[in-house]
Structure 1
């Protein structure tokens, strides 16, 4: 049993993650990928049907439909019908351009209008009619189009901004399931990133994208304007195929000002005045302002700030209205604690963690002497101290601090923690336990904090602001203990935008993603994600960012196809970094250069300071040397008292080397392969591998490939095509199969390019080859072919 004792004691008072800290987003709102599938389904149906896209102004409804129609070559004629204040006052005003051949007397007859439109819109193949601004369209127009769709004569798509209620005829068709309602949110972080890449024609990192995503509130019109202003002001620069954003808040230029002016003109005078006041002088409502507030809410221009206060929902709009960039960043905490945290963050960014520890200790000592420290201040400063000590690699000191909060040490102090403090305490304890190779404790806590929170499956999750430190700690621990799938789910949640506006957590998750995929053998994906992240970090002006970029580059150097991102040699300070990433970087460098004595030395240093898990991995690497007996003995000793799968694999491997049993070597490597530790079983022609027989090498190679395939499947199910359509399209290359399956599943060319880490032009080239080889010319035919094959495979599986 480890230093923290039985995890059940720590978890005895844990009632589960509070909803305010972490909850699943179970709303019915669809993302753009699902919306694309609905459009593909509509296009592929033999009988015309209808869709209603509802979402706030700026959620990208029109953009989504136009993009899909442009990419898929939708064969039906497209007719766009848009409401206006003028047309609203005239019967059939919005469709006058379709009724030019109908006499004035016949227009008075709904039957004549219906017949004229039927002949015009459904002659040959039914037309696709897109209806927008329904609130400004006269009821007769809506009624006749609804009748045409209800009779299967046209495809009908309605775009609605949620400002006004839907027309009655459309609501009836939704309730009777003649039309499908597809709600759309504002852009998530990942969707905003894709849109920025589309606008710029370059790759960008999530670390860069979050600045404009925060600034525009996920509003696609604001985002397009902000990207234009950023380009024209020089805020965005380019390095090869990557766009890099400058440090500091985004600029406000002419496009954002024009957009703000247009929005203000569309509001009533009272709503416009209230919006200006909220952006400048006040946050509380005055008597009689509820109608104006309701109008602003319908337009998604304000949001509640708590305690009866309101603020502008789009920071870029607030920046224009207030003529300053106060809205682009959260207001600083003016308390003594807030000032201290800001100071400590700057020290950490400047790689002065030890100085941060000293200043935090001085703050606690001064507060205790002056009797100014209360329980809340005591606990939050204690937890921050534990974070800093872990980051500095001072594990023994971190253990002492956490034991002071432990239910084993002071149950009264533990009972006084609120839920947010408890999940951070548990996460930090699990991280420390993992680094000390007490994996049983770490896994038990992770089961509660991660799996029972439904991260392993289900809908997208939202993290509360209190989860930033917990999220960083969980990512590090999941990486260390090899819970690859859980780690991917948490990374995906954060990079999707589930962490809100926490840019530091997004940066941490993106770096963890590169490290995870590099270590599990997903080479192309790791390299594709590394390029934009490296460029952004190196140009951020933050020395911690620059160190992290250099260390990530060092870690990924062992990948054969890699470009050397980091052109300058690492400085001594970076090479000797005490961070987890720094230690891994040093180890990978020694391993890649076959410096096994250096590996053992680093492992000894790690063991001495308490980093026994990392030491175990390094000793396992060092077993490959001509004389790995000493490393094997240390590896075996470090597993004493541990009964988890990883320790079992290490014990087998150590015993195999000590007894010179090559059969056991192969068994140990197989066990590591099952756990996903690809780097431990890669044949590098080292002395240990040279002793194995060809049959044993083939078995290990098969295990290696199977593990890499499992990791790829966990990362992206559409990527494992050989298991989905093994003989369906033998003339396609593997990359063409990937693109074919991704396109058939409803992904756009831009999304496929991101997943494959290639350019959009490359995706288009692959699709051209796919269409040519299969004798088709559009996505819907491709989707039908894949669906037919899946049904066939399902039947064969059932018969088997």
Structure 2
């Protein structure tokens, strides 16, 4: 059976794979596509056959499953009698005596070539597979076939790739961006980032599951279009019958132990392998893992089991018989309690299992579970757990009320949350100081972020700080610092950091104040000061909360990036805890900061993937990142990667997110910067200039010097450097940042059209790891040199730019794009010049090169002279560096064979060194000629 049952979905997201298959077919090799069920091998096969047919090939498609039981002789008999249809027509081509002597044409193109598409080649009978291998080996046909990973294939099929008769290609599941392309192609219009992430998360990019899930959501109306945007909130209720049938079909036949194990994993995923309920099913664990139905992952010292695809979970749970479900839930809850409930997640899973099994945990367990659910941003579950715990006699009512209020706030029920928080903050008698302070903090945040009453929130805080005892006052200072950020009072927020460090304080106070205070200092442009502030009080394990330690590290990474210390920022981010769940606020922060790092290095795809991953959780509305800001970052990264249409669509979603939240100036201007960047990349330079100039003025007025300089830097990059050069220089003088200094110098060099300065800046950007900026500066240097008539320097910087682009796999932005190389014919080396240059760069003397090529030394010197001029180099060392990437890219890696009678080999010759006392000459070993290197 073909794995692709949804034929109406357009082919998308697989251009790279299709291009590889097409290239293999063009070379006459063919391809063997292997991958897990449902990844889309069959669709790739059909699409590749369509491409081959469009290029003139004769193509046929057959299923290995359909002929695996047939005998070759019977197929031939059917053909001879004129029966058997298309399948026998394919067999005609495969049988030796049907087309004796047929060969695949060697000429370019596919005209007259026979290309066979064979689906499910692992199902072929051994005799047929052997005959197929012989046909491919003798050049009778070009084969494109699919094989299911992990399934034994006949020897003839395996020999195809072992003997390199076909190219074996692993077809992986769709990544997030490719899945987005597939969904966009089907639905049209804009699909909300959160909807795309939910679809991918349920299916992990399995093409068949993705299309079936989307079709099911379209059918039940949950995947819907509102105001031109497709939205999907996830699976609600029982999955549709077709979707459930597909999942059960993929699970296949399960033994009783295997079925019990997958049911338990579905109920309590991830499930520890050492649990008593699982340990007794060890054989089932191994067989399910071998079949790819479950996955095993190490978390610390724990081996945790998950279903292969999250979509399996709701299907298995919904199909579970009621009594079986009760029994398994109680068995798992008992097993978790037997482990001692060592992790917060253990308590949450145990509590949910008990409740769903009709048992009520104690109040302490419910409270602990509610706190964990809140950290996972599962607000509905948090409220449910609190409501169950509140009536119990031993319940901690103030804490449960506080947790419930946070859950109401997370669900957008801000008026209800205000009523609850106001009542708690008004009564200090029966409530501990710490809980009362948290209630005041929660109320002020709800007023500011939820109800958009920032002044009321500040008044509540001021009144509480005045009336609070010392302990409570200190706890509220962290919230005051955040409110200062929200009000764009960055200098006051930065001063709070010095205040709490000036005298001994409760660590709980320091950890709440220090990260936002350092963040404020960083945004004021004092990144070095922010790092110094953080260094004065490092997080203490066991004293600082996980959230505080994470925010401390992330602010340090932000500050390191702002100084240009990309490697330092990367090291900080690599040191973050590895077990942070994707749906926690800390993971949202980490993804936002790490995406900035990836983008600065040119790793756009990685940045986009991270930002897609954190687009589904609700907006936490905190000081380090907001959902609108993360979406805007995604739009900027998409634009940088050349995905301009989707970048513009995401900007529409950003506006919608911003309209429903309080204005956070720092985040709003971060969004504005990304919007200007997107406009510039799509070619709207006028709109980009307007927005960037406006942002620069606004940020400078608020004291956010680095943000202002970054905006002016964009203005200069897209063509108006002279208008902003003095302002950029003035801003940079007040910033203690290596990156800020480079940005200001870049603006100055662009204003002066100084090619040498731009080349030097490119090297410094490259040294920092900022490859996109380095490539852009090289391109700008190329244009500046060409305008000044320095054509050799122009060609050299063009080459440098191309090498930088190859290093990170990017392209130049539209405003820095260079003319095609063909516009300067002299810059292209001829074939002979390439040969001479390659041999000279390898260390051979001019005489040796002449002997190898059978030409005179003077001819070699002339060719070298022209090559030096075209490449813009003056020494053989530079020549080797320039040619290294060009030769490998253009296929000149193989040097000419030595001339007859010559035995000296390239590796025997040491590299020739230029004469330091005469830089205008090239020392080329014995009989070297003088090569002029003056400016062209």
* Superposed pair shares fold, TM > 0.5: yes
Q: Distance in 2 between matches of 1:507 and 1:600?
A: 22
Residue 741 of structure 1: aligned partner: none
Change (3 A) 1:140 1:512: same
Residue 81 of structure 1: aligned partner: 63
Residue 127 of structure 2: aligned partner: 140
Give the 3-state SS of the residue equivalent to 2:79 in structure 1: coil
CA contact (8 A) 2:39 2:173 kept: yes
How far off is 1:400 after superposition?
9.7
CA contact (8 A) 2:94 2:131 kept: no
Residue 45 of structure 2: aligned partner: 65
How do residues 617-636 of structure 1 correspond to structure 2 at under 5 angstroms? 617=710, 631=727, 634-635=730-731
Give the 3-state SS of the residue equivalent to 1:77 in structure 2: strand
Residue 177 of structure 1: aligned partner: 164
Number of corresponding residues: 609
Q: Distance in 2 between matches of 1:337 and 1:379?
A: 23
Residue 605 of structure 1: aligned partner: 702
CA contact (8 A) 1:134 1:160 kept: yes
Residue 784 of structure 2: aligned partner: none
Residue 295 of structure 2: aligned partner: 303
Q: Distance in 2 between matches of 1:540 and 1:588?
A: 23
How do residues 710-725 of structure 1 correspond to structure 2 at under 5 angstroms? 716-717=810-811, 723=820
Change (3 A) 1:414 1:632: same
Deviations 1:199-220 (A, max 9, x none): 3244546543211000112221
1:336 aligns with 2:328: no
Q: Which residue of the other structure, out of 568, 574, 579, is the alignment partner of 1:445?
A: 568
Change (3 A) 1:647 1:178: same
Q: Distance in 1 between matches of 2:579 and 2:19?
A: 24
How do residues 271-350 of structure 1 correspond to structure 2 at under 5 angstroms? 271-280=258-267, 283=271, 286=278, 289-304=281-296, 307-323=302-318, 334=369, 336=371, 339=374, 342=377, 343=406, 346=410, 350=450
Deviations 1:307-339 (A, max 9, x none): 34423222222212212999xx99899363653
How do residues 376-525 of structure 1 correspond to structure 2 at under 5 angstroms? 406=535, 408-409=536-537, 413=540, 425-432=552-559, 439=563, 442-443=565-566, 445-446=568-569, 448=571, 469-476=589-596, 483=600, 485-486=601-602, 488=604, 490-492=606-608, 494=610, 511-515=632-636, 525=642
Residue 744 of structure 2: aligned partner: 650
The higher radius of gyration belongs to 2
Residue 569 of structure 1: aligned partner: none
CA contact (8 A) 1:652 1:664 kept: no
Q: Distance in 2 between matches of 1:115 and 1:516?
A: 50
Residue 230 of structure 2: aligned partner: 244
Q: Distance in 2 between matches of 1:789 and 1:486?
A: 20
Residue 651 of structure 2: aligned partner: 534
Change (3 A) 1:613 1:402: closer
Give the 3-state SS of the residue equivalent to 1:43 in structure 2: helix
Q: Distance in 1 between matches of 2:31 and 2:579?
A: 28
Q: Distance in 2 between matches of 1:146 and 1:42?
A: 17
Instruction: State the TM-score, normalized to the length of structure 2.
Output: 0.50
Give the 3-state SS of the residue equivalent to 1:165 in structure 2: coil
Q: Distance in 1 between matches of 2:630 and 2:530?
A: 26
Q: Which residue of the other structure, out of 670, 693, 707, is the alignment partner of 1:614?
A: 707
Q: Distance in 1 between matches of 2:658 and 2:745?
A: 45
How far off is 1:468 after superposition?
5.1
How far off is 1:65 after superposition?
1.6
Higher RCO, Cα 8 Å, sep 6+ = 1
CA contact (8 A) 2:261 2:285 kept: yes
CA contact (8 A) 1:386 1:402 kept: no
Residue 54 of structure 1: aligned partner: 34
Q: Distance in 2 between matches of 1:313 and 1:72?
A: 35
Q: Which residue of the other structure, out of 213, 217, 224, is the alignment partner of 2:204?
A: 217
CA contact (8 A) 2:632 2:651 kept: no
1:45 aligns with 2:8: no
Q: Distance in 2 between matches of 1:225 and 1:434?
A: 43
Residue 146 of structure 2: aligned partner: 159
How far off is 1:295 after superposition?
4.3
Q: Distance in 1 between matches of 2:99 and 2:15?
A: 29
Deviations 1:236-261 (A, max 9, x none): 34479x65223454773343123124
How far off is 1:183 after superposition?
2.0
The root-mean-square deviation of aligned C-alpha atoms, in Å, is 6.4
Q: Distance in 1 between matches of 2:658 and 2:701?
A: 35
Change (3 A) 1:114 1:155: same
Q: Distance in 1 between matches of 2:714 and 2:602?
A: 25
Q: Distance in 2 between matches of 1:501 and 1:605?
A: 32
Give the 3-state SS of the residue equivalent to 1:164 in structure 2: coil
Change (3 A) 1:229 1:70: same
Please list every run of 5 or more consecutive structure 2 residues that lacks an aligned counterpart in the other structure. 1-12, 82-90, 105-112, 326-344, 353-367, 378-405, 411-444, 476-505, 620-624, 766-771, 778-786, 826-886, 896-930
CA contact (8 A) 1:245 1:536 kept: no
Further displaced range: 226-235 or 628-637: 628-637
Residue 591 of structure 1: aligned partner: 693
CA contact (8 A) 2:307 2:313 kept: yes
CA contact (8 A) 2:636 2:647 kept: no
Residue 580 of structure 1: aligned partner: none
CA contact (8 A) 2:632 2:654 kept: no
Deviations 1:26-64 (A, max 9, x none): xxxxx9555334312331124xx3433221111211122
Residue 690 of structure 1: aligned partner: none
Deviations 1:673-724 (A, max 9, x none): 996789x99xxxxxxxxxxxxx99x99xx99x99999998867449979546
How do residues 353-372 of structure 1 correspond to structure 2 at under 5 angstroms? none
CA contact (8 A) 2:594 2:607 kept: no
Q: Distance in 1 between matches of 2:373 and 2:710?
A: 39
